[in-house]
């Protein structure tokens, strides 16, 4: 029997991630997938079709974190499969990456009804799952897509424009984190694509792809 994950919100957790890495009580990748599928920690389990765990290479250097599944993702059980996902694929292609080269997850594993923003308590309750994914993936870099993912991961309320263009560190870890626009925002504001492109070059350079 797997012991349950800690219930405290993960990014407020005062225990450094390093200190939790070797705990035998923490689930491995498949145990984590099983636990997420069965999750009833918040109300969203009542309205979801299925949980959306993540997709890609669980040993990836780059972990991309979006906000929450939408209707398409809820149906298919995979993050970023709708229009925003197609743009994300094109953004990855622009820096010679595919979905299989990276890992893609969200702040929330379940779809908020009517695509409303994640509530802070939902993000807090869901955060232990993402924390464990980060521990297991051990990415070299996290790319947060959009204001909600950036603010939530960094535990700040700084506007997105001010979060861009810097290498932050995920609190309680050594993991570098860059913030860029959410592809759904870029679909609504295509004029900002140039800035997103700059961010992607920054990501590639930070990963050591461009010298
Ligand atoms: N938007 C997100 O933030 N995540 C998805 O998985 C899909 C759309």
Ligand 1: distance of its center to the CA of 143 in Å? Answer: 13
Q: Is-contact 55 79, C-beta < 8 A?
A: yes
Distance CA 48, CA 122 (A): 13
Residue 152 confidence (pLDDT):
98
- CB of 196 shorter than 6 A to ligand 1: no
| Top mutation candidate among 48, 69, 116 for ligand 1, by most atoms within 8 Å of CB | 69
Residue 209 confidence (pLDDT):
66
Which amino acid residue places its CA nearest to atom 6 of ligand 1? 79
Domain spanning 29-206: CATH superfamily: Uracil-DNA glycosylase-like domain (3.40.470.10)
Local mean pLDDT, 10-residue blocks, the chain (211 residues)? 44 39 72 97 98 98 98 98 98 97 98 96 97 98 98 98 98 97 98 97 89 49
**Dihedral sign from CA coordinates of 71, 111, 117, 56:** negative
Residue 1 confidence (pLDDT):
43
Distance CA 82, CA 9 (A): 29
Distance CA 69, CA 114 (A): 11
- Give every CB contact of residue 136 below 8 A, 6+ residues apart in sequence: 28, 29, 32, 58
Ligand 1: distance of its center to the CA of 161 in Å? Answer: 20
- CB of 139 shorter than 6 A to ligand 1: no
Distance CA 200, CA 61 (A): 15
Domain ranges of the chain: 29-206
Atom number of ligand 1 nearest to Cα 104? 6
- CB of 67 shorter than 6 A to ligand 1: yes
Residue 133 confidence (pLDDT):
98
Ligand 1: distance of its center to the CA of 104 in Å? Answer: 10
DSSP the chain: -PPPPP-S-GGG--S-HHHHTT-TTS--HHHHHHHHHT--SSGGGGT-SS----EE-TT-SEEEEES---HHHHHHTSSS-SHHHHHHHHHHHHTT--TTTSEEEES-SSPPGGGPPPPHHHHHHHHHHHHHHHHHH--SEEEEEHHHHHHHHHT----HHHHTTS-EE-TTS--EEEEE--HHHHHH-GGGHHHHHHHHHHHHHHTTS--
Ligand 1: distance of its center to the CA of 50 in Å? Answer: 14
Distance CA 146, CA 185 (A): 8
């Amino acid at each position: 029997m797997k012991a349950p994950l800690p219930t405290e919100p993960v990014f407020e957790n005062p225990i450094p991630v390093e200190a939790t890495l070797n705990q035998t009580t923490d689930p491995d990748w498949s145990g984590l997938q099983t636990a997420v599928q069965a999750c009833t920690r918040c109300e969203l389990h009542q309205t979801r079709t299925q949980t959306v765990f993540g997709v890609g290479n669980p040993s990836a250097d780059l972990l991309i974190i979006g906000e929450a599944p939408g209707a398409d993702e809820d149906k298919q059980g995979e993050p970023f499969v709708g229009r925003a996902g197609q743009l994300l694929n094109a953004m990855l292609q622009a820096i010679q990456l595919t979905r299989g080269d990276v890992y893609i997850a969200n702040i929330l594993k379940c779809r908020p009804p009517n695509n409303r923003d994640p509530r802070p308590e939902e993000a807090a309750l869901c955060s232990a799952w993402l924390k464990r994914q980060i521990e297991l993936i051990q990415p070299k870099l996290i790319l947060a897509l959009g204001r909600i993912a950036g603010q939530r991961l960094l535990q700040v309320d700084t506007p997105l424009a001010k979060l861009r263009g810097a290498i932050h560190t995920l609190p309680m870890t050594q993991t570098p984190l860059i913030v860029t626009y959410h592809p759904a925002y870029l679909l609504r504001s295509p004029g900002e694509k140039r800035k997103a492109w700059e961010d992607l070059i920054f990501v590639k350079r930070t990963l050591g792809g461009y010298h």
